[in-house]
Amino acid sequence: MFDQTLPPEVLAWKPARDELVLRHRAERVAYNEALNEHARHVGLPAEIGTEPAHAAFVNTPAHKAARRALAAQVAIERAYFQQLPRLPLATCPHCQKPLYRCFDPFGLDGLFWKPDSQPEDPTPCPHFCLLQGAVTLGDSQYAPDFDVQPGPGVPFVLPRLMVMEGMEVVISELMLAGGARAFPIAYFAPRRPPAQSLAASWSRPNLVYSTQLGVHGWRRSDEPVGNLEVEELDYELGPWLERGQLRWCEPGADRTRISAAVACPFINLPGVRQPQQLARAT
């Protein structure tokens, strides 16, 4: 079952996407086997030679095979991320412009969900601050080649961000192939807060930032900020709705319009109220 809002060209990508995921898996296995074979041949070296001029350089057929498999993975990832759909996941409450982001709606085994993946997203409106998300896994059974951090099982907000000036959050919904239900959670503000004060994006374990003063830093998504003891996730959305800071796109719609309804469909959803982790299958 696919999300009914997906356009035909996105649905048509599914077979190619599945093939890329399978090929990537095969090349990764081939790479590891070849590199282990090469390592067995090298044994316990006293030096490491990476070029023919080095005395310790050992060029085995296995090493060549490993390089080929590594290059193949790079090529597959390039193709996957180039073809990855750019979907509307929310709409800015300030300028009404839809937020388009790279997204793999066909399951958590897609390379998009790999914690270190860096897809090239379309340029958002100037109010966009951050995209986080939640996934109700339900009975879905994905078998990713990597650990996936899909977020909690139900929508939430970060109170730390919600107290920033003019911050509003927009929640929407997208069904993933395989039965999971995804909830994009997008933050918008009239003026984007400093990068270091935000949080890690959806399914990414780290916030890596460069400040306006040129300072580079990073922290884990589960590490507190400033003087806080913990990074709190608030699942009680009612109060934020009452304060007028919580908006949503209607479930089943294409997420290009903010709902004008009064009752929010994302409040008090049943599900896991803590960050989840889907361990790699193999």
Partner 1 sequence: MYQGHFLGHIVRELRQRRLNGASSYALMAYLQPFFPDARAMAARYLNYAFFGSGLRLIGVLRMGQWSDYSADSEIWSLADALIDKAQSTWCSAPIPELMRIRDYGVFLDFARAEDVRLLVCSANPSAGRWIGASNARCYSGRWFVPSVDSGSDAGLLAADPADARLREALAAYGELSYAEYARLLAESGAHVLGSDAGYALVDDAGRRFYEGYRLHGVYDAKTSEPVWTARRGEALRAALNRALGEDLVHGGPHDDWEHRNNSKLAGPWRGPQLPLIEFTAEGRIQNLLSQAELSRLQPYESRWAELYPVEPSERS
From 102-110, 168-176, 198-206, 257-265, give the range in contact with partner 1 by CB under 8 A: 198-206
* Pair of tokens at residue 14: 């599914």
From 38-46, 96-104, 123-131, 243-251, give the range in contact with partner 1 by CB under 8 A: 38-46
Q: What are the E-state strand segments in 77-142? A: 86-91, 98-102, 128-136
Candidate list 7, 83, 218, 252; residue touching partner 1; CB under 8 A: 218
Candidate list 73, 136, 245, 259; residue touching partner 1; CB under 8 A: 73
Which residue lies nearer to partner 1 by CB, 201 or 256? 201
- The answer to whether 45 contacts partner 1 (rule: CB under 8 A) is yes
d(CA 33, CA 46): 23
Calculate ∠ Cα 135-141-143, nearest 5°: 100
- The answer to whether 61 contacts partner 1 (rule: CB under 8 A) is no
- The answer to whether 118 contacts partner 1 (rule: CB under 8 A) is yes
Candidate list 7, 12, 96, 223; residue touching partner 1; CB under 8 A: 223
- The answer to whether 83 contacts partner 1 (rule: CB under 8 A) is no
Q: Please say whether the beta carbons of 85 and 102 come within 8 A.
A: yes
d(CA 158, CA 232): 6
- The answer to whether 163 contacts partner 1 (rule: CB under 8 A) is no
- In the numeric block, the tokens 């479930």 are attached to 251
Distances (CA, A) of 29 to 39, 73, 111, 131, 282: 15, 10, 15, 32, 10
Candidate list 11, 26, 70, 164; residue touching partner 1; CB under 8 A: 70
Q: Name every residue whose Cβ is closer than 8 Å to that of residue 203 and which is 6 or more positions away in sequence.
A: 112, 113, 115, 133, 148, 149, 150, 151
- The answer to whether 116 contacts partner 1 (rule: CB under 8 A) is yes
From 89-97, 133-141, 212-220, 261-269, give the range in contact with partner 1 by CB under 8 A: 212-220
Sign of CA dihedral 170, 246, 230, 127: positive
**Among the listed residues 110, 95, 85, 99, the one whose alpha carbon sits nearest the alpha carbon of residue 132:** 99
- Judged by the rule CB under 8 A, the positions of this chain that interact with partner 1 are 28, 31-32, 35-36, 38-39, 42, 44-51, 53-56, 70, 73-74, 77, 114-118, 146-147, 195-196, 204-206, 208-210, 216-220, 222-224, 274, 277, 279-280, 282
